Chains A and B, each alone.
Chain A
Amino acid sequence: MSTTDWPLWEVFVRSRRGLSHTHAGSLHAPDAELALRNARDLYTRRGEGVSIWVVPAAAITASSPDEKDPFFEPAADKPYRHPTFYEIPEGVKHL
């Protein structure tokens, strides 16, 4: 048995209620159930999480580095799109 037979899974962990799931890393596992358990052992044993998602890495469609400029460059010079014109009220976290 070798890890190379096992598919790759991407792991997303929600660290607290009210936050969204964040990509934590990846791992190999034979199926979804074990991927979830491996994720628990690898990424949440110091109390980092309240919820875990595992997604087959093959199911993720990613933007290519070659497309970086047309994808992201045009947004850079449009400051009016950024919410920078008001003060964040005190006590609002995670914004």
Chain B
Amino acid sequence: MTATGSATVPVTAALALGDDALVLSHRLGEWAGHAPALEEEVALANIALDLLGQARVLLSLVGDEDELAYLREERSFRNLQLVEQPNGDFAHTIARQLYFSTYQHLLHAELAAGDGPFAPLAAKAVKEVAYHRDHAEQWTRRLGDGTGTSHERMRRACAALWRFTGEMFQPVEGLDVDWAALESRWLESVAEVLDRATLTVPEGPRTGAWSAGAGRQGIHTEPFGRMLAEMQHLHRSHPGASW
């Protein structure tokens, strides 16, 4: 389990970051064939592929990527509950992406600046994620400041996913990050984007009492089981199959 850097790779952190990327990648992939426009479908698929690439590197650091992705049970996944939330309408997908990409961009920028075991891959990922963040911000602005319907849908999506955003700033073992500072930068950035989109920062708690730290501890929401069943079905039905 030695890493690219000098330090050993903290397994918990690699799984947390890797599972975030893997699960969101799969969710975004579900848009294939269903996106509102062909151009947007390609954009979402691009983001999904970037994330899949990141997941492969991270999971390979701590084990066999296929085994980790396809043979783990639900309770062994360490991703945030935010990324497993269903796509919903396009506004939901964009709100989820805005919350997550802003977080991921700030986090990777910090990891890239440090000298921990994740610095090299964070340095590469930060450029990809900057684009994901920009894509989400662009769309948030257009949907929020668009028609009455798009504004209402975007408002609803931002509010519905708000309670999953607190979990992002629970410290992850093995990541040397100032989580409180990360959180305040995240809040500042998201508030600014929502403001430009003529939306307001949702009210209400950013974690449910029952869900504090949930995804990182292996506790997931109901839709995740179904997503996992679909994602793992082929590999489990045909163990060891190859093209």
Q: Do A and B come from one complex?
A: yes
Which of A's residues lie within 8 Å of B, judged by CB?
1-3, 6, 27-31, 33-34, 37-38, 41-42, 45
A42 touches B39 (CB 8 A): yes
A2 contact set on B, CB distance < 8 A: 36-37
A65 → B minimal CB distance (Å): 28
* Contact-size category for B: 10 to 19
Question: In the complex, what distance in Å separates the CA atom of A34 from the CA atom of B40?
Answer: 10
A41 touches B37 (CB 8 A): no
B139 → A minimal CB distance (Å): 8
What is the count of residue pairs linking A and B with beta-carbon distances less than 8 angstroms? 35
If A33-B138, A34-B138 touch, whether A28 touches B42 (CB-CB below 8 Å) is no
If A30-B142, A33-B138 touch, whether A38 touches B39 (CB-CB below 8 Å) is yes
| B29-44 to A contact mask, C-beta < 8 Å, 1/0 | 0000000111110110
Partner of A38, one of B36, B42, B90, B142: B42
Flag whether B135 is at the interface (Cβ < 8 A). yes
B37 touches A3 (CB 8 A): yes
The 6 closest A-B CB pairs, nearest first, are A38-B39, A3-B37, A1-B36, A41-B43, A41-B46, A41-B42
Chain A to chain B contacts (Cβ below 8 Å), 6 pairs: A2-B36, A3-B39, A29-B39, A37-B134, A42-B39, A45-B46
Partner of B43, one of A28, A31, A33, A37: A37
| B77-100 to A contact mask, C-beta < 8 Å, 1/0 | 000000000000010000000000
